[in-house]
Amino acid sequence: MVRSTFLTFEAFGVSSPFDPTFHYVTSPILPPMILGSLRLLFAVYALITAITTLALYQHPASYLSYFTDLTYIGLVAYFWASGVQTIAFVLRGRKSYPLQTWPRFLQLLHVLLHSSVIVFPIIVTVVFWALLASSATFATRYSTWTNVSQHVMNTCFALFEILFTHAGPSPWPHLVPLLVILVCYLGVAYITRATQGFYTYSFLDPSQQGSLLAAYIVGIALGCCVVFSVVKGICLLRRRVSLWYGRFEDDAPSGTEALEEWQEMGVPKDVLASEA
């Protein structure tokens, strides 16, 4: 029987060796130290926002029932993880970073987390401003700050990763777990309704939406596919532009033969400069 190539680490972007050209810790325009520092700055801001929002929630037990808050926690986790890895890359003389030697399952979780933070925040922003925003959105300074932080800056953080790092594009198989997460969230939303007596989002209420409910659910799933495809295209274009402007070299840095042959797109020039 021919072994399926879909259910492999390689199909999900976890090569062996992992990321030998350091795409997850470098940028086409920023030195690694600045990239790592910005990631940690975003992590601190997002963590403060998440903690403040939780502390001032009217019903703290409902905090994890909202997709907005769940995706924001994902942003916090990603920027802490990627920021620490990037700083470690600098401290190691730009020759390696810890994630490269960790178990492949943890590497898989990192690349899947990266895919989620460049897709889900955009969906959250579009859905909020298209379906949920109201006059109360900017009613107070606090509501203005939280809504801008969670429904505008979240997408800005995602765009930073899309445009100003070498990470991505995400492999097509990543679309499957992202859709599974959306389906699982439907379960969370209706469990919340059953246990706490309310719908987290009004468009999930069948008594209000009727037949439109299915259209909303299918529409968001299709929107996820569209956002994923567009982001993947932007990452491919960014990589090609980086090649045009000489931000990559065709040859990998000194190391094992596997490192030299793994990635046809090459290694960021700033990494090669540090090797010289």
3-state SS record for 34-79: HHHHHHHHHHHHHHHHHHHHHHCCCCHHHHHHCHHHHHHHHHHHHH
| Tokens found for residue 85 | 């890895």
Q: For every one of its 276 residues, what pLDDT tens digit does the chain have, with 9 covering 90 and above? A: 445 677 799 999 999 999 999 999 999 999 999 999 999 999 999 999 999 999 998 778 889 999 999 999 999 999 999 999 999 999 999 999 999 999 999 999 999 999 999 999 999 999 999 999 999 999 999 999 999 999 999 999 999 999 999 998 999 999 999 999 999 999 999 999 999 999 999 889 988 888 889 999 999 999 999 999 999 999 999 999 988 876 654 333 433 333 333 333 445 555 545 544
Residues 193, 196, 197, 198, CA torsion sign: negative
Tokens 């505008």 correspond to: 152
Per-residue confidence (pLDDT) for residue 254, from 0 to 100: 35
Give the gyration radius of the chain's Cα atoms.
20
Per-residue confidence (pLDDT) for residue 267, from 0 to 100: 52
Q: Hey, is 142 helix, strand or coil?
A: helix
Supply the pTM of this predicted model. 0.87
Closest listed residue to residue 119, CA positions, set 52, 80, 176, 55: 176
Q: Hey, is 159 helix, strand or coil?
A: helix
Q: Hey, is 199 helix, strand or coil?
A: coil
Residue type for position 44:
V
Closest listed residue to residue 96, CA positions, set 13, 169, 24: 24
The distance between the two most distant Cα atoms of the chain, rounded to a whole number of Å, is 66
Q: Hey, is 258 helix, strand or coil?
A: helix
Exposure string for 76-105, b = 16+ CB within 10 A, e = fewer: bbbbbbbbbbbbebbeeebebbebbeeeee
Per-residue confidence (pLDDT) for residue 271, from 0 to 100: 55
C-beta atoms surrounding 148 within 10 Å: 15
| Tokens found for residue 154 | 């979240």
β-strand partners of 248 = 268
Closest listed residue to residue 46, CA positions, set 21, 77, 19, 23: 77
Q: d(Cα 25, Cα 97) in Å, to the nearest integer?
A: 8
**CA 207 vs CA 191, 199, 203: distances in Å:** 16, 11, 10
Task: Please say whether the beta carbons of 77 and 71 come within 8 A.
Answer: no
Q: d(Cα 65, Cα 2) in Å, to the nearest integer?
A: 42
